[in-house]
Structure 1
Amino acid sequence: MSSSKNGGAPKPASPYARFIPREELNSFAAWKPGALTGNEDAPQAPVQRAEPPAPPAPPKPSPEEELAAHVKAARTSGYQDGYRDGLVALDGFKQSYAAQITAQMGAIAESYNRQLDALQQDMARALAVSATHLARQIVRSELKQRPELVAAVAQEAVDTLLRSAQHITLRVHPDDHALVAQGAAEVIEARGGRVISDSEITRGGCVVESDIGVIDASVETRWRRAAASLGCDERWNGGPSADEDTAMDDERGTP
């Protein structure tokens, strides 16, 4: 009655849910893969895996496709070769052009330097000529305003002679005769010299003659030396020098 009250007989337990104690096990052994075949000690054969089927071979291209492929490859190779050769040619052109420009610039710089040097020389020559012209005017004005300076010139010329010189003669312009005789009287008398008038001597200068030589202290000679120190070759009267006169005569055929 009690079982009916409980709602019927109890449900049997699941055989997979029951835990078997060790005491209830009579015997047991480890399972081996060969147990199912009945030969547990036999070596197991390796498992053979099926190889996947080989992919089908690609279809052979047609002659037109092969020709197109060869043409494309030839074009690509030709483009690469042409591009490489073009780079080489461009690099060579750059180097050649740079060398050409450098040479041209060097020639231009050298020509510029030559022209600049010539211009500087012309400017220096023009400046020297202008300086000599100005100095000539100053000297002429000084000789007119201070004619007594010829005495100092004559005295300096006589002092230039050696002490052993004899027969000393001073040639001066007639207008300077009195000035030299008075201004350089002591030096002339001490050397035993004499003063002679000579109209060919330019006023302001003199020529000293002796038995051992001649001292040319004329205005023309002194002026030529002064002008030469400035790089000019002009005569006192403003004309060309003696060398220039000779050159002009040669050009005209004058003997």
Structure 2
Amino acid sequence: MYSRPVIARTPLADRSLPTRKVAEKKEPMSAWQRWEMSSFADESLSANDEASTASEPMMEPFEPVLLIDEAELARLRLQAQQAGEAAGHALGYARGQAEGHAAALSAVHAQAAQLEALTQAWPNALRLAERQVADDLLALALDIAHQVLRQALTIDPQAILTVVHELLQAEPALSGTPQLLLHPDDAVLVNEHLSDALQDAGWRIRADAQIQRGGCRVLANSGERDATLETRWERVAATLARTPPVGASHD
């Protein structure tokens, strides 16, 4: 049979009484005792620290580990370089475009100023051009008329007879014995047709090769009358307020 153990019980009266410990009275310590204990305490702490340090495992030196490899780093550097070059190119392009725009605007303003000056000067230039054109047309007309006259004298050499007859009728009459200077061919023609009239007026015919056909000169004591083609042409040009073309009368 199983038997239950008997547990001894403490009387209630005994358990209710608290256990009191009587503190032992300590004697005061001298200065030497305090120093000796402090020294031993420091040596104990140092020994404990050395033991703790010796018991700790030694850490291996730290070696940095690259998070990216060299190829990736080179790619990032190249990408950054390309981005910088692109930004610099864009900045340079923008700056160049701005400078080009300013230069073009300045050129446009200069051309506009020139155009305005031409516009203001246009009326005067137009008047000068009209005058120049008119003068050129007049010169051309005189040249044509001179050529026509020469052709007319070639076709009708007797035109000199009309010139001499007008000189004979001109007033005042020349005194003395006037001399009529003619081209040799015209002198023959005038002598054949106007010899009687010239004798009545007391004029004498004298051939002069320096005088062009169709013209003549009369020399007298009282004066001179010039009816050469050159002089007559100058009078026409003066009437038209135009100097005759250079060399036109000597063709």
Q: Which has the larger radius of gyration?
A: 2
TM-score normalized with structure 1 length: 0.48
The structure in which a higher percent of residues are helix is 2
TM-score normalized with structure 2 length: 0.49
